[in-house]
Amino acid sequence: MTTATVQTPDQLVVEHVVTRVPVSRAQRLGAGLALVFIGLVTIWRFGVDGHHHLDASIRLGALNADHVPHFTVPATPVAYVAGGVTALLGVLWLLAPRRRFFGLVMGVGIFLFVAALLCWLASASSFSTVDVVGLLNSGIALAVPLILGALCGVMCERSAVINVAIEGQMLAGAFASALIGSLVGITAGMLAGAFAGALIGAILAVFAIRYLVNQVVLGVVLNVFAAGLTGFLYDVFMQPHTDTLNTTPLMELHKVPLLGDIPVLGPLLFDTYTIVYITYVLIIAVDVWLFRTRWGLRTRAVGEHPRAADTVGIRVLAMRYRNVILGGAIAGLGGAYFIFSVGQFQKNITSGQGFIALAALIFGRWSPRGAVGAALLFGFASAMQVTLSINAPSIPSNVVAMVPYLATILAVAGLVGKVRAPAADGEPYVKG
């Protein structure tokens, strides 16, 4: 649906024109052929070439836990059905694409592919089994820092400051939380991580807003700076005193009284770490903040049309400072998550997760919900990669690891609909 505004010289006529948005040729062909391809691969790899005569054993819980729902499904028929439906969806999309159903169609296609893949894994031998809940659990665990990084990106880029330095902010946060976490404790460590992330955010803000430095250059340089500084300090201080300065307590699971007892969702979502609960709160807070509060409205105005915002009295630069520094704190918390899940800092511990967070932000079209969805998708893809590298060496796990990046390239290339950044993103604002 679109709203077209037509202005005539005499009077202002606002006309609502309801049209069915045509699907671009690239999207029609790209998505359709991709679905057909995925369907055929499913049929061939997991059906024709699959493990015949073996049933897939699927569990909804760990192997050693009691009362775990457990069922078996015939693996090859599932693959045939899933592949057939996916290919059919692809053909339908090629014949009659509807923009409204795009997400649904792609989601169903990917879900069926993953389902067939899991059944194939679970039927590799008579002993093999797949724990779906465990897989989802590790997917969420891998997604949490991505979610925090992507939320940082939302905060910054919605107010028109490009943040390529999410990686650096996470790394700085990780270092600070390892140091303070070892000396004081987890809570202080988390605060220190957020503070360090905010500090890098503040450098980004000052150079981008006050000194008008190109923001992509700045982000790249800050990543190098954070990697160099934390590496240097690690060698000088942490390495010689690992026991006192680089051994943090680990996070503990906290169960929410009632919600934690829900059969499958409970252990998945409500029996987890404090940072994850904070993440839930942040997801809701950022979404509400951006779309339901005055501050959020002003942030969006600053991001789309700073001059107009300035004209109506919004303090553009103050808005940007505030949001970039707060965003940095969120990314720093993401860095703390790395530390408190393994208990110590290592050089370059974030290993490119900040860039996946950036990818999630873009893939999620600069909206909090989209970014969180994309981060979950990417986290789940990494979990699949880990599972595959252990259970199915015949599938190259490195190729699976490319999926988030390829998906993002396809997204910005317009194959999955229009991806548009906030209009003023990356442009410094100079009054006058």
Partner 1 sequence: MSEQTADPAADPQAALTTPEGGEERPRGFWARYARASSLVVTLLAFVTAMVLGGILIAVADPQTQDASHYFFQYPWDTFHYGFAAIWRGYVALFQGAIFNPHTASKGTLAGYLGPISETVTNATPLILAGLSVGLAFRAGLFNIGGQGQVIMGAVCAGFVGFHWDLPPGLHLLLGIIAGALGGAAWGGLAGFLKAKTGAHEVITTIMLNYVAFFFLAYLLTAKGFQQSGSGQAISYQVHGSAQLPPLLGDSLRVHSGIFLALLAAWFVHWLLTRSTLGFRLRAVGANPFASRTAGMNVENSYITVMLIAGGLCGLAGVSQILGTNSRITGDIDAGIGFDGITVALLGRASPKGIVAAGLLFGALHAGGTQMQSSTGTPVDLVQVIQSLIVLFIAAPMLVRAMYRLKGSAAGVSGAALAKGWNG
Is residue 227 part of the contact set for partner 1 (CB under 8 A)? Answer: yes
Is residue 275 part of the contact set for partner 1 (CB under 8 A)? Answer: no
Half-sphere exposure of 45 (CA within 13 A, CB side): 19
Report whether 75 contacts 58 (CB < 8 A).
no
**Three-state secondary structure along 271-339?**
EECHHHHHHHHHHHHHHHHHHHCHHHHHHHHHHHCHHHHHHCCCCHHHHHHHHHHHHHHHHHHHHHHHH
Is residue 413 part of the contact set for partner 1 (CB under 8 A)? Answer: yes
Q: Which stretch binds partner 1 (CB under 8 A): 89-97, 190-198, 249-257, 412-420?
A: 412-420
Q: Which stretch binds partner 1 (CB under 8 A): 98-106, 204-212, 247-255, 335-343?
A: 204-212
Nearer to partner 1, 285 or 395 (CB): 395
Q: Which positions from 128 through 187 interact with partner 1, judged by CB under 8 A?
A: 160, 162, 164
Q: In the bound complex, what is the minimum distance in angstroms from residue 419's beta carbon to partner 1?
A: 8
Nearest to 230 by CA among 283, 181, 282, 174: 174
**Residues 84, 88, 94, 99, CA torsion sign:** negative
A 10 A CB-CB count for 344 gives 15
Q: Are strands 254-255 and 271-272 parallel, antiparallel or unpaired?
A: antiparallel
Number of residues that bind partner 1 (CB under 8 A): 53
Is residue 102 part of the contact set for partner 1 (CB under 8 A)? Answer: no
Nearer to partner 1, 201 or 267 (CB): 201
Q: Write out the two tokens for 118.
A: 């899991």
Q: Which stretch binds partner 1 (CB under 8 A): 9-17, 34-42, 184-192, 409-417?
A: 409-417
Binding to partner 1 by CB under 8 A, coded x per residue (else -) over 313-352, reads ----------------------------------x----x
* Residue showing tokens 């720093």: 332
Where helices occur in 23-74 by DSSP H, the ranges are: 25-41
Q: Which stretch binds partner 1 (CB under 8 A): 60-68, 128-136, 311-319, 391-399?
A: 391-399
Is residue 427 part of the contact set for partner 1 (CB under 8 A)? Answer: yes
Q: CA angle at residue 298 from 297 to 301, to 5 degrees?
A: 90
The site for partner 1 (CB under 8 A) is made up of 26, 160, 162, 164, 207, 211-218, 220-225, 227-229, 231-232, 235-236, 347, 352, 355, 358-359, 362, 396, 398-399, 401-402, 405-406, 408-409, 412-414, 420-421, 423-428, 430
